[in-house]
Structure 1
Amino acid sequence: VILVFGVIIYRPLPDKLAASTTSDRVTIHIFDPLARLFYYYPTRYLCPSADCRLQWMRKASALLKWIVGPSMDDNDPHLHMETTHWDGVKVRIYYPRDIAAAESDGAILYTHGGGFSIWDTKIYESLTRKLAQQMSTRLFVSIDYRLAPETPFPGAIDDCERVLEYIIAHGPQKFGIDPKKIVVMGDSAGGNLAAVISQRRTSRGSLPKILGQALLYPWLQMSDLQSPSYRYWNREMDKLTFLDPLTLAHFTLWYAGIDVQARPDFAQAMTEFRHYMDYSLLPGPFQDKLNCTDFPKLNSPIQELSDSLTPFLTDPDFAPLMQPDLSNLPPALVLTCEFDVLIDEGVIYAQRLKQAGVPTRWVHSEHGFHGMLSIHSRLDVAQ
């Protein structure tokens, strides 16, 4: 029975995926079928509605929390941590028990991923605690921003900016930080929020300026789900548990406040979108994944979907890749992963930042995959 079950659920993985060490390869071969069994298959085949899909994904987060590491208490000899509310926004904060021992008097503001709709600071506890320990700043803040669809765009942005303003106003007195040394950091949808915060603060001329932005496999646009990295995923990684185009379409619609429950055809139609991205900014190997002119045949467009989404897809606050002027933004670190539908937009954003004169470091993980930092405790490639 076990052998038959194994044959049914087994899916071959790309050769280079998590292949930096043997232990990583073994881990991913265990993680992928488990995640498909408890996450991908139920949401794709058992949930009859978008609401069911959302609730199942949120409940499956409990499994992820178990996978990413054992439960941890707040008893750390060197790091103080607590959950509190700043200006009405729930935050998880970390700071050295001996503030004077911190290597930097700066602060880091972390915005978690999860498609704006799932996950929270508890899921990220292992990662954010490790980052707080390693970076040794006087303050590290992980924001529990409100989630869509209950709180659609721009609710998450508002929450993040309120926390940022709170840090600027109260951080120097409470934690001894220098408000000119604040870095925003986020992964996936959190990378979107970090980029948006940086853009908005720059365009407004707000002071103090943000010191830097770290965008980890960021989700930066929703108007082109037929770029080479998306089509590579459709060809090579379909039915694996990693971030897929249909899930991204649902996340987009929920974040935009569009009633997916009433129009279940919208999400699938959105996976055929292709607009705006300039593939010429991609390095050759990224273009070569698929023939960039080899687009699939589109189904009949849904005009109502286009009319509903266009105001969001072209708004830089929603999709920061759409920002026409990237000059004067804070120095940036952009991390992309080989096995991720979001590679192309991350690479293009990094190239555009460089062209705009922004000091930018682009780091690409050839064995990495979307969300790998969430299970960093199990993977060498995520260290």
Structure 2
Amino acid sequence: MLIRGVNCRVYFPKEQRTRGLFIYCHGGGWALGKARFMDTVIFSLIRRLGCVVVAPDYKLAPEHPYPGPNNDYEALVKGIYEEYYKELNIDKDRIIIAGDSAGGHLTAAICQRLVKQNKINYVKAQILIYPVTHVFAFHLPSFDEYREKMNGTGLLNPQYMARFILYYLGLSAHSENVKKLINCEHIHEELENDPKYQSFIGREALPYHRQDRYIDKYHRVDPQLAEIFLSLGTDPDVSPIFGISENLPPTMVLTAEYDILKDEGAQYARRVSENGVHTVWKHYPTAYHGVLNMIGSPVRRQMIRDIAEFTRDYI
């Protein structure tokens, strides 16, 4: 189905038990993946919820860098709320949006766009599954843990993350730029010395206690790259943690223990909660990034159950 220029898969339950709608945005570093890759997850949610589900095949980087994926997702949500809700036979005031990894990032970014446009009523709640929430996380302990305990394993590693970010932002993803992001050479001195930066994405923003090896304040900075990220990287469209407000809808954040993104996901959950938004943060001690794609995993089943339980209150 085509909704305002966005190709979508639409799933109708055999027995529709609610007229709410669940939108699921797939991950893949803004550069990989298709909506159909999440079919089994979506089927499980439909069985539990009895709702219609829409999954967009948004345009992918590097051919379609930022703001292409964001614009597609925004157009989809607005298109359904303003027009296509009749064709889908859903209640437009009960739309849940969700996504994993880069899809979680886009979900958070689109919610914040809607807040700015005074259209947050278009979304009833948001669900972020091991999301990317900013582009400055390479100094966080979860990245150090990966290097020490999981180096060379997993679906996502620092090198992939750096390359995906560069693709997404339309920047050259050659090996030197990848290394510069991993070494935090894209963090401008203004950010490094800004208390607001520290309060949003610094080590003290972590909602649990652990020895933190924060970035060495004397690290090298690439001036050209740092200037780009000072402007582009602090845009809430790119780093949603910079756009949190009390007007966001109820939020669920899921994080995995064996995942370089777990710290930034936890930071986002904490900041949303501190802004007075109803927030549910679920951390899975035996989960890893991408576990939702692993059929037969007990953790996967638990995550789907938790998502469905949260969703029932709003759909």
> Which of the five TM-score ranges fits, normalised by the shorter chain?
0.7 to 0.9
Q: How many residues align?
A: 288
Question: Where does 1:266-285 land on structure 2 (aligned, <5 Å)?
Answer: 266-273=177-184, 276=197, 277-284=201-208
* 2:66 is the alignment partner of 1:153: yes
Question: Where does 1:277-296 land on structure 2 (aligned, <5 Å)?
Answer: 277-284=201-208, 287-288=209-210, 291-293=211-213, 295=215
Q: 1:351 to 1:300 in 2, by over 3 A?
A: closer
Unaligned runs of 5+ in 2: 302-315
Structure 2 residue aligned with 1:140, among 24, 32, 53? 53
Moved more, 271-280 or 340-349: 271-280
Structure 2 residue aligned with 1:338, among 257, 280, 294? 257
Separation of aligned partners in 2, 1:120 and 1:182: 21
* 2:5 is the alignment partner of 1:88: yes
Displacement, 1:295? 4.4
Separation of aligned partners in 1, 2:274 and 2:217: 34
Unaligned runs of 5+ in 1: 1-83
Displacement, 1:147? 0.3
| 2:271 alignment counterpart | 352
- The one-letter code matched in structure 1 to 2:231 is P
Q: Is the 8 A contact 2:155 2:289 kept in 1?
A: yes
- The one-letter code matched in structure 2 to 1:109 is I
| 1:204 alignment counterpart | 117
Q: Is the 8 A contact 1:191 1:216 kept in 2?
A: yes
Q: Is the 8 A contact 1:272 1:298 kept in 2?
A: no
- The one-letter code matched in structure 1 to 2:278 is P
Separation of aligned partners in 1, 2:268 and 2:167: 24
| 2:39 alignment counterpart | 125
Separation of aligned partners in 2, 1:168 and 1:270: 38
SS at match of 1:378: coil
SS at match of 1:117: coil
Question: Where does 1:1-383 land on structure 2 (aligned, <5 Å)?
Answer: 84-97=1-14, 101-137=15-51, 139-206=52-119, 208-261=121-174, 264-273=175-184, 276=197, 277-284=201-208, 287-288=209-210, 291-293=211-213, 295=215, 300-323=220-243, 325-375=244-294, 377-383=295-301
- The one-letter code matched in structure 1 to 2:59 is R
Separation of aligned partners in 2, 1:268 and 1:203: 35
Separation of aligned partners in 1, 2:144 and 2:217: 13
- The one-letter code matched in structure 1 to 2:229 is L
Q: 1:267 to 1:177 in 2, by over 3 A?
A: same
Displacement, 1:114? 0.3
Q: Highest CA radius of gyration, 1 or 2?
A: 1
Per-residue deviation, residues 274-332 of structure 1 (Å, max 9, x unmatched): 65313223233xx42xx324646976432222223332210000110122x42110000
Separation of aligned partners in 1, 2:122 and 2:155: 36
Q: 1:207 to 1:295 in 2, by over 3 A?
A: closer
Q: Is the 8 A contact 2:203 2:214 kept in 1?
A: no
Separation of aligned partners in 2, 1:360 and 1:336: 13
Displacement, 1:258? 0.7
SS at match of 1:270: helix
Separation of aligned partners in 2, 1:367 and 1:298: 36
TM-score (norm 2): 0.86
Q: Is the 8 A contact 2:109 2:237 kept in 1?
A: yes
User: How well do the aligned residues superpose, as a CA RMSD in angstroms?
Assistant: 1.8
- The one-letter code matched in structure 1 to 2:300 is A
SS at match of 2:139: coil
Separation of aligned partners in 1, 2:145 and 2:288: 13
| 1:81 alignment counterpart | none
TM-score (norm 1): 0.71
